[in-house]
Amino acid sequence: TANDKYKLSINDLLVKAITVAAKRVPDANAYWLPNENVIRKFKNVDVSVAVATPTGLLTPIVKNCEAKGLSQISNEIKELVKRARINKLAPEEFQGGTICNNAVNMFTSIINPPQSTILAIATVERVAVEDAAAENGFSFDNQVTITGTFDHRTIDGAKGAEFMKELKTVIENPLEML
């Protein structure tokens, strides 16, 4: 919370981190268009955000995340999620997107064609980590597991690994989101 003006969630931060990583590794932010047999890379990063609704999973899109700050992304996500849960999204608000963030199901993520990348986000867990400075030799840290699924017609494993490394770098160094 910033003077009670707005609250940022971990998901808001992840959407921005995904955006920064996608700008650094554009192959992750692309479509495979089979009818044209072509790969389309995007300059804009439109992040689909998975939302569980009474009628199933929807993925409303936060468009042009690369041009938005954290508070604007956060506000848009809150509004999109609220309207998704009451079935009040227009088709253009949940069809498309250039990359997907799935914080709903951490066990499996299926790519939303024609997108090439989807990220399965687990919940934050407290884990013991070695800490020589601590009295008992360990301390606790918050960690999250993120699994990337990539369409290898668009982004091969090496580029997928590069994207995941960039995402990790941004998450561990949040000032890189600014």
Task: Read off the pLDDT of residues 79-130 as tens digits, 9 standing for 90 and up.
Answer: 999 999 999 999 999 999 999 999 877 666 889 899 999 999 988 899 999 9
Is there a contact between 61 and 89 (Cβ–Cβ < 8 Å)?
no
Give me the catalytic one of 12, 27, 151, 156: 156
Does 12 participate in catalysis according to the annotation?
Answer: no
Cα–Cα dist 21/102, whole Å: 16
Report the candidate in 22, 41, 38, 45 with the shortest Cα–Cα distance to residue 30: 41
Q: What digits encode the pLDDT tens for the residues 61-85?
A: 999 999 999 999 999 999 999 999 9
The β-bridge relationship of strands 99-102 and 117-121 is parallel
What does each C-alpha distance from 151 to 31, 118, 158, 162 come to in angstroms?
Answer: 9, 9, 12, 14
**Does the global pTM surpass 0.75?**
yes
Does 27 participate in catalysis according to the annotation?
Answer: no
Buried b (16+ CB within 10 A) or exposed e, 38-76: ebeebeebbbbbbbeeeeeebbbbbbebbebebeebbeb
Give me the catalytic one of 46, 131, 151, 152: 152
